[in-house]
């Protein structure tokens, strides 16, 4: 019996819609580069988002179990820290593997060789 991936090789089922949205992709990439987490303000600046947009996208990622948001205080000031969960890290790496396949397939269809994403510093070679 053929699986969906065998019968529809270009469906890219692993392109997770929660991750694939541009702002969330940027958030996850930022958090992947900072395993100990980032302050809300730093994440906001890195991704070029407003407070409201960042809050909404973090809520979606948090509901999906990809991101953990910790609220507390530093001195008398509120401080929010965001970090990837273990599940978030695994799902993001799985997502990147699907993207790598997509890039290879597209390059092959265009008649060119795609560089491994590891050479681009995205995935380990």
**Sign of the four-CA dihedral 68, 37, 24, 106:** negative
Contacts of 84-90 with CB under 8 Å at 24 or more apart are 84/28, 84/31, 84/32, 84/35, 88/28, 88/31, 88/61, 89/32
Q: What is the pLDDT along the chain (125 residues), one digit of tens a residue?
A: 445 556 787 888 878 889 989 999 999 999 999 999 999 999 999 999 999 999 999 999 999 999 999 999 989 999 999 999 999 999 999 999 999 999 888 888 888 766 665 555 555 54
Q: Model-level pTM? A: 0.80
In the prediction, which pLDDT does 4 show?
A: 54
- What is the structure's pLDDT at 118? 57
Q: What is the pLDDT of residue 111?
A: 82
Domains (ranges, CATH) in the chain? 22-107 (1.10.10.10)
The pLDDT of residue 125: 47
């Amino acid at each position: 019996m053929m699986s969906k991936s065998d019968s529809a090789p270009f469906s890219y089922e692993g392109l997770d819609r929660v991750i694939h949205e541009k702002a969330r992709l940027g958030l996850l990439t930022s958090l992947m580069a900072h395993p100990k987490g980032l302050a809300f303000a730093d994440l906001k600046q890195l991704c070029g988002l407003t407070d409201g947009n960042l809050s909404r996208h973090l809520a979606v990622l948090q509901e999906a179990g990809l991101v953990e948001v910790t609220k507390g205080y530093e001195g008398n000031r509120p401080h929010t820290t965001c970090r990837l969960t273990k599940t978030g890290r695994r799902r993001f790496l799985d997502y990147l593997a699907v993207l790598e396949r997509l890039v290879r397939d597209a390059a092959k269809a265009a008649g060119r060789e795609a560089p491994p994403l590891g050479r681009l510093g995205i995935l380990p070679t």
